[in-house]
Amino acid sequence: MALLSGRTQLHPTSGHSRPRPASRALVVVRAQIASKQAVVLVGDIGGTNARLSTWLTDLGSTKATQLHAKTYPTSSHETFDDVVTTFLSEPAVRENPPHAAALAIAGAVVQNRCEMTNISWVVDGDALQKHHGFCVRLLNDFEAVGYGIPALEPSDLVVLNDAQPLPEAPKVVMGPGTGLGAAQLMWDTGMKAYRVWPGEGAHATFAPRGWKQKALARYATDLYGHCEIEQVACGSGLELIYEFLLTDETANRPELLGKTQKKTAPQISGAALEGSDPLAVEAVDLMYAIVGAEAGAMALRCLAKGGVYIAGGITPKLLPRVQAGSLLEGFLMRNGRAPFHKILTETPLFVIKNETVGQIGAREFAKRLL
């Protein structure tokens, strides 16, 4: 591999046949590689903002130091390549240019390319690599979360089911946020590391348990013509559940009439934590019973004895309600499923408190590109 302007050039025939003259940045890069360190570019690309940062990483551990970070409104640039070019021109980045980049993006990544839905950007990792001269890989946002899990500390986790994780066993990560993300981690014996496989299982049909969940499924189906798991297990799903409870509960509880109205997900969450609205408490508990059931189903599909991890932006904020038990009860499948219940009691279940796990994962994945 030839070093080019402080970057690792993976394709010498793609336009640069010889190294450019030595520079201070190139000397820095050589010193970094000799000391088992490297600079990586990490990205978090959403519909509103693109967040980029460079990190000096230790190739032999998960230690890393942030060198520079910048947030760019997506509306201020016609293409993502423009954003990258602007970021790379920053003096702090020119001083310590990246050797590789991993970009977490909220969307489906196919062949290192993502057509974003909320904005007109098409993010093409191969084109970025060709333009800027270092390896670039796009990751689905939950794929990035998956790569962050092995790098987490015990203090980053809350244990809900205290079983012992089996080394090299499959792991599952999922969690509600804007949508319901999910991925599986499988051990690669050749790499001696986990590989992450994202999926779109959240769009499978919701399988309700008990009369209330069945009534919720009918309510959602009447509204949308179909009820996916994600529709009742994310931020907007929490709002839907609350609306359902308003129509369902007030019919049987006249004292609630005139005292409740539709709420946003943050309002429902706040009221549930305060205990000021019993329907908000019930809505949160019902949603996490559904999340727990889906987590249990995912655990059974791959025998995730390495652990099931609940991530996403909502769960850490609702931790007191989550620890109250509905998520674990949904996960364990106690009623009428004895053989499967035993498997799940032996499967660790965690909540990830560290909300930067996706950034950690992208950073760790970028190191694999070197």
Per-residue pLDDT, 10:
46
As a CATH number, domain 2-152+355-368 is 3.30.420.40
Cβ-in-10-Å burial (0-12, 13-18, 19+) of 94 comes to middle
Q: What tokens appear for 341 in the block? A: 């219940």
Kindly give, in sequence order, each residue whose CB lies less than 8 Å from that of residue 133, ignoring residues fewer than 6 positions away: 4, 5, 7, 9, 16
307 versus 60: the higher-pLDDT residue is: 307
Distance CA 126, CA 32 (A): 25
| pLDDT per position as a tens digit, 100-109 | 999 999 888 9
pLDDT of residue 251: 54
pLDDT more than 90, % of the chain:
74
Q: What is the pLDDT of residue 193?
A: 95
Q: Enumerate residues 6+ apart whose C-beta is below 8 A from 283.
A: 238, 241, 242, 245, 268, 272
Statement: residue 80 has pLDDT above 80 = yes
- Beta strands in 48-179, from DSSP E residues, in sequence order: 49-58, 64-73, 100-105, 113-115, 122-124, 135-140, 157-161, 171-176
Question: Residue 199 — very low, low, confident or very high, per pLDDT cuts 50/70/90?
Answer: confident
Q: What is the mean pLDDT of residues 116-120?
A: 82
Q: pLDDT digit string (tens) for 328-366?
A: 999 998 775 677 888 999 999 999 999 999 999 999 999
What CATH number labels 201-352?
Answer: 3.40.367.20
| Rounded average pLDDT over 162-177 | 96
What global pTM score does this model have?
0.85
Average pLDDT over residues 194-209: 90
C-alpha–C-alpha distance, residues 315 and 330, integer Å: 15
Would you place residue 178 in the very low, low, confident or very high pLDDT band (cuts 50, 70, 90)?
confident
At 199, the amino acid letter reads: G
| pLDDT attached to residue 17 | 37
Asked if 195 contacts 188 with a C-beta cutoff of 8 angstroms, the reply is: yes
Q: Where are the domains of the chain?
A: 2-152+355-368, 201-352
What digits encode the pLDDT tens for the residues 233-263? 999 999 999 999 988 765 566 666 555 678 9
Looking from the CA of 82 toward its CB, the CA atoms found within 13 Å total 10
pLDDT number for residue 13: 34
Distance CA 257, CA 186 (A): 51
pLDDT value of residue 3: 34
